[in-house]
Structure 1
């Protein structure tokens, strides 16, 4: 019997998957627990519509992310801060500082968690900082730290 899973079922499949199961398993376990529904033509159409709309939404988000990454890659930030004699900063520049500066100067909202820094910036100079915009889309921002 073909059924459409309404929830994730361990060792059987994920939500909206169409699977073949025995009649008894479907009637005695899956249907009473509302884990699956019979795969009728209407249900199959509904699932395909849902999948296509989800695909379109993901495509649109990916295109928006690529456009944002392109805008971000053109950004060069200059941060002025106090530094010691050897060019070592008093304090450090973190992802939060970079995100706030991008928001102030370029009016682009970026979550501080999406800014990838191995360690906080603790010295004067120029560094390329990666910003993860979308799971497979990232941009590099040039950050220059100068003495105040």
Structure 2
């Protein structure tokens, strides 16, 4: 019997795959457990529609992420830090500080775990941080550390 999988099933297939399984396995386990539906003509059409909707959603999110990436290219966040002798920075600016400043100043919400390098910024002057926005779309944000007088 041909069924369309509704969830990933180990050693059988991934979600939305059409697989051929034994009739008893389908009737007694997959269908009652809401793991699969019978692959009729109607269910195949519904599957195609769902795949198209997901593809459209992903395309919209990628387009939005590209716009955010273009905005990030124009932004330079400035932080003042205490500096000792020889230009050594006391403390640092963490990715959390960068995330908060980006939201407060530009209303752009990014997760601090998506920044690369994901460690703190400790060098005076202009530093570049790459942010993964969605999937493969990344943007570069400039962070300028200024010495406190």
Q: State the TM-score, normalizing by the size of structure 1.
A: 0.89
Task: Find the counterpart in structure 1 of residue 111 from structure 2.
Answer: 111
1:39 aligns with 2:42: no
Question: What SS class does the counterpart of residue 113 from structure 2 fall into?
Answer: helix
User: In 2, are the aligned partners of 1:95 and 1:116 still within 8 Å (CA)?
Assistant: no
**In structure 2, how many angstroms separate the alpha carbons of the residues matched to 1:17 and 1:111?**
33
Which deviations, in whole Å up to 9, do the C-alpha atoms of 1:90-110 show, x marking residues without a partner?
Answer: 211110111122122222222
Instruction: Map 1:1-148; keep pairs closer than 5 Å.
Output: 1-148=1-148
**In structure 1, how many angstroms separate the alpha carbons of the residues matched to 2:97 and 2:20?**
54
Deviation at 1:142, TM superposition (A): 1.7
Structure 2: any 5+ residue segments left out of the alignment?
A: none
Structure 1: any 5+ residue segments left out of the alignment?
A: none
**In structure 2, how many angstroms separate the alpha carbons of the residues matched to 1:133 and 1:6?**
28
Q: CA RMSD in A?
A: 1.7
Q: State the TM-score, normalizing by the size of structure 2.
A: 0.89
User: In 2, are the aligned partners of 1:5 and 1:18 still within 8 Å (CA)?
Assistant: yes
**In structure 2, how many angstroms separate the alpha carbons of the residues matched to 1:31 and 1:103?**
46
User: In 2, are the aligned partners of 1:6 and 1:16 still within 8 Å (CA)?
Assistant: yes
Aligned length: 148
**In structure 2, how many angstroms separate the alpha carbons of the residues matched to 1:134 and 1:17?**
25
Runs of 4+ more than 4 Å apart: none
